Structure 1
């Protein structure tokens, strides 16, 4: 296993007419045996980062270390990194056992040892009953397990997974999430998982590194990202349904400090301590974020509330999502599945002041 450190790493793709800065001044440490997910939308730089770690892309500037070894100029084989891709890339004429054992055969490992290791990995992945079959006879989930096993059998220092669940249906995906988590806990490999799916990242990773526009936005545990997002992007990208955002203006008067939501009659009162923190930023135009899960229909009447008209009641089985409108502002709340509110009903949704996030209107960084 290895600790992976990226220091001031940049990747610039250049052509005759222009250049694209794919990764900008990335600093990230993945600890020995840690499971870290690189999460972000398409084009954010996560795949370029992965390819630089593996050695498939040259680094424009910066350093990548495996433990104390600088690997910038080492090829992927010398780095002892194994990869599993979204495409399974299995050899169709090989049996599953032969597919699993092939990396060891290339290394010149004796047949008996190859067979032992293949069966050991197959048992961990629960595919030991299909070792004599060929890939065409397997389901997508089984093929993905074989692909994972072929990477794991090499006993790599770092294990890279690149969008490995893109071709798996929802039911199999939840099983694979469980399997991958169990594999990591059993084998304690340093794992880097690249995905655009927050559910996968939050379910699997010890820490998640969120990227956007070639830059690392925040790295932390799922609680860090959900409860203390660094900026508007992270607050918006993490959480389902997405965070409600309100453009608001700060007012201070005889009744204390309030945030008046633009285009509505909504006001959000602030506690004195929060008001003082906001005042230090010297900004009047701010962005307020409240997660739909923090808005409660028929909640504690002593708590502050937002009033609105129901536009949609979306029933999802174990819960419902109310979409509400006040003036030009639309926002949502997660409510009980048996909520009877219908289009046109007037409702009050309560919230706790501790659940209100306030961001700078200029930088979009979190203030509180």
Structure 2
């Protein structure tokens, strides 16, 4: 029996119990979006603050402030209106502390790489290259274009960048880079990094339009005969391209399930492209992400049949619907690389000046000269009428000939 009262044994708080108050205090100090308050600056002047969404790049807190003259009641009303405006996204965002051109373009490329923005793999490679080129450009005043803050970026800086880029680079490449810059800045505007896209006000370098080269039918026949002497497979491919208007990537993306020799039609919905490092060769939807059925001529049907027999002999098997029409040497399930197939064509044609692109010009121009309307020809080629008129119409318009004939003496 204890005669003296013993003091109670002190209880030691666990580390978890210690962490809970600290965590609660941190959570209590963290301001949520829409929170805010009113502060008196001087007599009759109040500052209204509202917490908005965090910086999309750095993750840091952001807020918007307004000055209000009047009583505290007037300031409270202004605070309520500002919260409603922020909720409805009617308040311009102050931007991000990481708001440089490089940060905006990096965020745009990251969205493309993660699939938030849908671009073809080859276009992604071009986009990366354009970003790297633009961000490394040194302007005449010594500034690096990629380091310019978005808050001070103007159309004058962008046009100066265009002028510097044109030294040693083609106008087409500068215009492609301008498209990447405009899309990147537009993405920054939508995410609240800037209020206006200055690339919309900048004037892009003008391109000089040249009349597309369209070979005659006799030139195409000579080309196919010359290629056939060294590479019959590529010759049949050139014949099919000339009579269908397909792009080379679309031809290499064809599988036998999409070739209907009985019905005399080919279904074009896929294309093969090189996605660059870490991606490789892949099969993707066509350039316009659309499909089209193209009728086959008798010569094209014969070329497909020869290729069918050639594939069966090469791989010593029965050709299946999933097999590619123009496969890789590794196997019928692997598509041919576009670059190596183009090299084979360049080697076989020798010094002949007609290219795969000229064959597409030939298809469009020949059909237009035969009196077909632009809509029909555009549907066969998988283009819009505007693109057809700009890039593939190498003819002398028949309507012009009829009109000018009225002036003949």
TM-score, reference length from structure 2: 0.20
* Greater strand content: 1
More RCO (CA 8 Å, sep 6+): 1
Name the TM-score, length of structure 1 as normaliser. Answer: 0.22
Task: Determine which structure has more spread, i.e. the larger CA radius of gyration.
Answer: 2
Larger fraction in helix: 2
